[in-house]
A = this chain, B = another copy of it.
């Protein structure tokens, strides 16, 4: 949801939490994102990765690893970028103008990017409301509610869009732990799939993302990025991590267990209405008060500017954080007085 200046505020910036709750105890526990708190262990990074321009072979090695990890069909194109976000920004400038439908509510940057490119955009609540849209965008599984659209439905949607020279954009930022839900292996026509590296691998600061689809479109994205778009260290870390299936398998098991543990902590405070293994969505009429209560305890949840009854929680990364979260949730009483209300209703600065 865009602010007046056209930018969107996000979780993950603790400076905002500290400004809201200056008296909170340190260290802050940042649960405001869906980033895996246990990162992929950084491989050794030779100085040459920092010194020289990233070479064609470095990029080829990363793309080969990504093709394997994401099971990309040989005929499909793939392009790497310094984060999925910049692909979201570039894409609307590289397709023919036409009506766009974004299945919402979802990650706000999609709608904003198409609007910035001057496209007529509708946010729709159901897929069958796409109408005459030539571009349909959805996040699958969705952020923040984890809603998952099945592959058969997506394929049918892609076919109908292909028939009218349209495009289906699927942001699979959170699909890594449920790979059977990915549309990439059977990639239908007129489909572009976005994959993010940093969330699952816990390395969001690295900036690495991919677009996979028809070679003409991925080629246009590659040309728009120009040479050396991805940093040398990111090419190397990405190539190592995406080839490491054992790490991913273990992370899926561990984070799925963590998600269940988080659900158990949240359940007394409301209804866990969705999520993925990396974040859980809590619905409660006391969301504002709970946000403020946790904030005063140095725990930063994610709230939503236009949905005052929901909070999203990422996973704690260590036992100290689990213990502090459990204690904070247990000590919450909905009516904490005027201070809670003030902190709960002041401009949050993020959606």
Q: Which residue of B lies closest to A204 (CB)?
A: B53
Q: Which residues of B contact A7 (CB under 8 A)?
A: 223, 227
A232 within 8 A of B: yes
Question: What does the 1/0 interface line of A220-241 toward B look like (CB < 8 Å)?
Answer: 0001111111111110000000
A148 within 8 A of B: no
| Docked pose: A198 CA to B233 CA in angstroms | 14
Interface centre among A51, A57, A205, A231 (most CB of B within 10 A): A205
Q: Which residues of B contact A75 (CB under 8 A)?
A: none
Q: Is the CB of A109 within 8 A of B207?
A: no
A203 within 8 A of B: yes
| Docked pose: A231 CA to B235 CA in angstroms | 12
Number of copies: 2
Picked from B35, B50, B113, B205, the residue with its CB within 8 Å of the CB of A42 is B50
Q: Is the CB of B82 within 8 A of A82?
A: yes
Q: Which residues of B contact A53 (CB under 8 A)?
A: 10, 12-13, 33, 35, 198, 204-205
Q: Is the CB of A12 within 8 A of B205?
A: no
Q: Is the CB of B35 within 8 A of A39?
A: no
Q: Smallest distance from the beta carbon of A28 to chain B beta carbons, Å?
A: 11
**A88-B226, A116-B223, A226-B109 given as contacts; is B12 within 8 A of A207 (CB)?**
no
A83 within 8 A of B: yes
Q: Is the CB of A206 within 8 A of B35?
A: no
Q: Is the CB of B55 within 8 A of A13?
A: yes
Q: Which residues of B contact A231 (CB under 8 A)?
A: 82, 205-207, 231, 234
| Docked pose: A67 CA to B230 CA in angstroms | 25
Q: Smallest distance from the beta carbon of A62 to chain B beta carbons, Å?
A: 13
Interface centre among A50, A57, A206 (most CB of B within 10 A): A50
Size of A's binding interface in residues, CB under 8 A: 55
| Docked pose: A78 CA to B204 CA in angstroms | 24
A47 within 8 A of B: yes
A297 within 8 A of B: no
Question: What does the 1/0 interface line of A194-219 toward B look like (CB < 8 Å)?
Answer: 00001000111111000000000000
A122 within 8 A of B: no
Picked from B33, B205, B234, the residue with its CB within 8 Å of the CB of A49 is B205
Q: Is the CB of A205 within 8 A of B57?
A: no
Q: Is the CB of A226 within 8 A of B86?
A: yes
Question: What does the 1/0 interface line of A33-51 toward B look like (CB < 8 Å)?
Answer: 1010101001000011111
Question: What does the 1/0 interface line of A1-22 toward B look like (CB < 8 Å)?
Answer: 0000011101011110000000
**A7-B227, A232-B206 given as contacts; is B13 within 8 A of A39 (CB)?**
no
Q: Which residue of B lies closest to A89 (CB)?
A: B226
Q: List 7 A-B contacts (CB under 8 A).
A: A6-B223, A13-B53, A54-B205, A82-B207, A85-B228, A109-B227, A207-B230
Known contacts A93-B93, A109-B227; 16 additional CB pairs below 8 A are: A15-B55, A30-B52, A39-B50, A39-B51, A51-B203, A51-B205, A82-B82, A82-B230, A83-B229, A85-B228, A86-B229, A89-B224, A205-B231, A206-B232, A231-B231, A231-B234
Chain A residues near B (Cβ < 8 Å): 6-8, 10, 12-15, 30, 33, 35, 37, 39, 42, 47-57, 82-83, 85-86, 88-90, 93, 109, 113, 116, 198, 202-207, 223-234
